[in-house]
Amino acid sequence: MGAAGSKLEKALGDQFPEGERYFGLENFGNTCYCNSVLQALYFCVPFREQLLEYYSNYKNGADAEENLLICLADLFTQISSQKKKTGVIAPKRFVQRLKKQNELFRSYMHQDAHEFLNFLLNELVDILEKEARTAKNEAETSPPEKVANGPKNPQANGVQKEPLVTWVHKNFQGILTNETRCLRCETVTARDETFFDLSLDIEQNSSITSCLKNFSSTETLNAEDKFFCDKCCSLQEAQKRMKLKKPPHILVIHLKRFKYIEQLGRYKKLSYRVVFPLELKLSNTVEDANSEYSLFAVVVHVGSGPNHGHYVSLVKSHNHWLFFDDENVEMIDESAVQTFFGSAQEYSSNTDHGYILFYESLGANKNS
């Protein structure tokens, strides 16, 4: 570990970013799915900064119960406040809390990094929302009648929860519009849905841009899939499409590399070559201005099947690309990123494939 750390410091030399820390994470028996995602989130700078700020305010306040948010904030604080520039940290408290909280992650079996990311972001939001509601209730309980008779409570389940936008939402949440057009009366029904990541179907020798186009392509609903049109008051043929209405500040793209094959009765890993660019334009899916994004992290699945293998991550930090493999951290060349696109042939010795991509918006729409 010491040797690897000093090797990285030598490689960066006087270009080592001031105040930055590059630490590997110890593996507690198949916890690479967790380590790879944590590294990607640590180098998601706006998220890291807000988490550290939250923790410094939290530490100054009353001591609440330990939860996953506190464990994550504590881990990120440990890393960022290390005296050494490189080394290894054991995310023991975080992993223990994760296993305590969700039985899915308790076994020593191979876990899915995307499932973990999804669970983690939703869990952080739940904790922040709960804290905000508690604070709001405490503020409102001074005159007790207010809570009982106040105008805010009749729609407590629906509207009250809506306006609360946490800093997790501000970073990761985007909005999709599900549009359905009745082919008889031409009425368009639009329904907005929020998302923290986009899961894209993949094809052999494709690109993120083509996968996004397919995601937004029009689908015809007919035969037994007809749509109930409120205006016609009957089932009608219709056209349906998904549009990206508001792209998030941090765009997380999950490539659906694990597909259930009916004939086999099990999941199979798709090693397809899917090109993901370092700079991504979302012009074809967003109606307003061009949204430009820059790639800053990739969670890579290593292995030929869905039930075994390994996860590593590639991270861009201060214009350098780094390779994180549990305890090990090393510099890689930017051109090495393309070796993780996938395999153009069905059977290839290369089993290292990009699985979750993290893009940051280059626009000024950070807090919009």
pLDDT in tens, 41-95: 999 999 999 999 999 987 766 556 789 999 999 999 999 999 999 999 999 999 9
pLDDT for the residue numbered 156: 43
Structure confidence at residue 289 as a pLDDT band (50, 70, 90): low
Residue type, 243: K
**Domain harbouring 338, CATH code:** 3.90.70.10
Q: Residue 199 domain-assigned? A: yes
Q: In whole angstroms, what is the distance from residue 12 CA to residue 87 CA? A: 15
pTM for the full model? 0.89
Q: Residue 10 domain-assigned? A: no
The answer to whether residue 310 is catalytic is yes
The chain-wide mean pLDDT, for the chain, equals: 88
Most confident of the ranges 152-156, 159-163, 228-232: 228-232
Q: Residue 143 domain-assigned? A: no
pLDDT tens-digit readout, 186-225: 999 999 999 999 999 999 999 999 999 999 999 999 999 9
> If you compute the radius of gyration of the chain from its CA atoms, what whole number of angstroms results?
23
The values of phi and psi at residue 29, to 5°, are 80, 90
Q: Residue 71 domain-assigned? A: yes
Write out the residue range of the structural domain in which residue 108 sits.
28-132+166-361
Q: Residue 286 domain-assigned? A: yes
Q: Residue 145 domain-assigned? A: no
Q: Residue 4 domain-assigned? A: no
Q: Residue 337 domain-assigned? A: yes
Residue tagged active-site, from 32, 44, 71, 182: 32
Structure confidence at residue 367 as a pLDDT band (50, 70, 90): very low
Segment 5-11 shows an average pLDDT of 84
Residue tagged active-site, from 114, 169, 254, 310: 310
Q: Count of domains in the chain? A: 1
The answer to whether residue 32 is catalytic is yes
